Amino acid sequence: MAATGPNAPLCTAITALRAAAENGDPEAVADLLAPDVVFHSPLTSRIRFEGKDEVVALHRDIFAVLDDLGTGEALTLGDTGSFPFTGRVRGQKLEAMNVVRVNEDGLIAEFTVFARPLPAVATLFATLPPRVTARRRGRARGTLVAVLARPLALAFRTADFFVPRLI
């Protein structure tokens, strides 16, 4: 993606974000973020991460649980762009779309992630929130979140296996 024209700041930010993701480098992500950045969780609309420090810490957690991260070409319009990415979480292939918006300084002000398929999202739900909770609220709460999330992940994986065979 050439960084020229009115979308140059967005294109530059997305190119750098893709490289940071492929290299699993949360510190490189930090350089791209606005101080008041907001990250909207792909797992629930009830959770969002606010502020540069929290979003960088979240990326440390994300890069710790996702393997084989790869990204695709971006689409941009105005101050918003999106790009696909893939990875593996505990062996489950994850496909996702990252939508980012930059501010007037060309820094990422907002992330929204959409992910599929259901078994990978369920595995991510059983893996990432316990890690984030342990970091933010302590190991005991992280363990509680893990205990609560595991049955849901198992139910989603089981449903994904059987429901297509029954339809």
* Tens of pLDDT, residues 125-149: 888 877 788 888 888 888 888 888 8
Q: How far is CA 157 from the centre of its chain?
A: 20
CA–CA gap between residue 99 and residue 114 (Å, rounded): 8
pTM of the prediction? 0.86
Q: In this predicted structure, what is the pLDDT of residue 136?
A: 85
| One-letter amino acid for residue 15 of the chain | T
Categorize the per-residue pLDDT at 4 as very low, low, confident or very high, splitting at 50, 70 and 90: low
Taking residues 90-112, what's their average pLDDT? 96
Task: Report whether pLDDT(55) > 90.
Answer: yes
Q: In this predicted structure, what is the pLDDT of residue 1?
A: 46
Categorize the per-residue pLDDT at 77 as very low, low, confident or very high, splitting at 50, 70 and 90: very high
Taking residues 7-30, what's their average pLDDT? 95
The answer to whether 30 and 52 have CB atoms below 8 angstroms apart is yes
If one compares 156 and 88, the residue with the highest pLDDT of the two is: 88
Categorize the per-residue pLDDT at 3 as very low, low, confident or very high, splitting at 50, 70 and 90: low
Taking residues 79-99, what's their average pLDDT? 96
Q: In this predicted structure, what is the pLDDT of residue 82?
A: 97
Place of tokens 């918003």: 80
Burial class (CB in 10 A: 0-12, 13-18, 19+), 151: exposed
Q: Which domains does the chain have, with CATH numbers?
A: 8-115 (3.10.450.50)
If one compares 80 and 6, the residue with the highest pLDDT of the two is: 80
Task: Report whether pLDDT(68) > 90.
Answer: yes
Task: Report whether pLDDT(10) > 90.
Answer: yes
